[in-house]
Structure 1
Amino acid sequence: MTIHEIFKEEFSAGRDFSFAWRIFLDRFYASTREFRVELIKFAPECLDDRRHLSYCAAGIHKLCRENGLELPEWITDKSLILDEPYFPGATTDLLQLVCLVESPPEFKMRNIFTTENVLTRT
């Protein structure tokens, strides 16, 4: 299974990006190194929102760094750097300020600001 297949399956079931992303994280964390490499090898082409694709790239970039995996080629595409700052889920100025400080570098470099525990699943 690939990240594209996960998103496609979840979207066809009527679920949103956030839900599909959490399913991807669950599968990634539960997988072997070999499966992880296959899971992230290609971009999820079913994403029509550039912010979501950039978010995936940032998250996978961080996952690769944390797990000693080689970056898939699509992750480094310069078009995944957003023109405008994106604060997913940050609904107040205070939370946006927290995200500006805490956001991991893999997200910041793509102009995405989130909390430091963005990839945590509990």
Structure 2
Amino acid sequence: MTINEIFEEEFSNGRDFSFAWRIFLDLFYASTNEKRRELISPAPICLDDRRHLSYCSAGIHKLCREYGLALPEWVTDKSLILDEPYFPGVKTDLLKLVCLVESPPEFKMRNIFTTENVLTRT
């Protein structure tokens, strides 16, 4: 299974990006490095929101660094650097300030600002 297949399946079941991303993370964490490489190698082409594709590339970039995996080529595409700052799910200015400080570098470099535990699943 690939990240694109995960998103396609979840979207066809009426689920949103956030839900599908969490499914991807669960599968990634439960997999071997060989399976992880298969999961991330193709770009999730079914995503029509550039912010979501950028978010995926940032998350996968961070996961590759943490797990010692080679970066898939699509993850380093310069077009995935957003023109405007993106604060997914952030509702207050105070939380924006926290995200500006805490956001992992793989997200900051794409102009995405999150909390430091953005990839944590509990």
TM-score by length of 2: 1.00
Aligned CA RMSD, in angstroms, stands at 0.3
Hey, what's the Cα distance between the residues in 1 that align with 2:65 and 2:32?
16
Q: CA deviation at 1:78?
A: 0.2
Task: Kindly provide the CA deviation profile for residues 59-108 of structure 1, in whole angstroms up to 9, marking residues without a partner as x.
Answer: 00000000000000000000000000000011000000000000000000
Amino acid of the structure 1 residue aligned with 2:45: E
Identity over the aligned pairs, expressed in percent?
A: 86
Unaligned runs of 5+ in 2: none
- Could you tell me which residue of structure 2 aligns to residue 23 of structure 1? 23
Poorly superposed stretches of 4+, deviation over 6 Å: none
- Could you tell me which residue of structure 2 aligns to residue 79 of structure 1? 79
Hey, what's the Cα distance between the residues in 2 that align with 1:32 and 1:76?
23
- Could you tell me which residue of structure 1 aligns to residue 14 of structure 2? 14
Q: CA deviation at 1:17?
A: 0.1
Unaligned runs of 5+ in 1: none
Hey, what's the Cα distance between the residues in 2 that align with 1:18 and 1:60?
15
Hey, what's the Cα distance between the residues in 1 that align with 2:53 and 2:40?
12
SS at match of 1:14: coil
How many residues matched?
122
Hey, what's the Cα distance between the residues in 1 that align with 2:52 and 2:101?
21
- Could you tell me which residue of structure 2 aligns to residue 53 of structure 1? 53
Hey, what's the Cα distance between the residues in 2 that align with 1:96 and 1:23?
26
Q: CA deviation at 1:25?
A: 0.1
- Could you tell me which residue of structure 1 aligns to residue 95 of structure 2? 95
TM-score by length of 1: 1.00
Hey, what's the Cα distance between the residues in 2 that align with 1:82 and 1:22?
22
SS at match of 2:31: coil
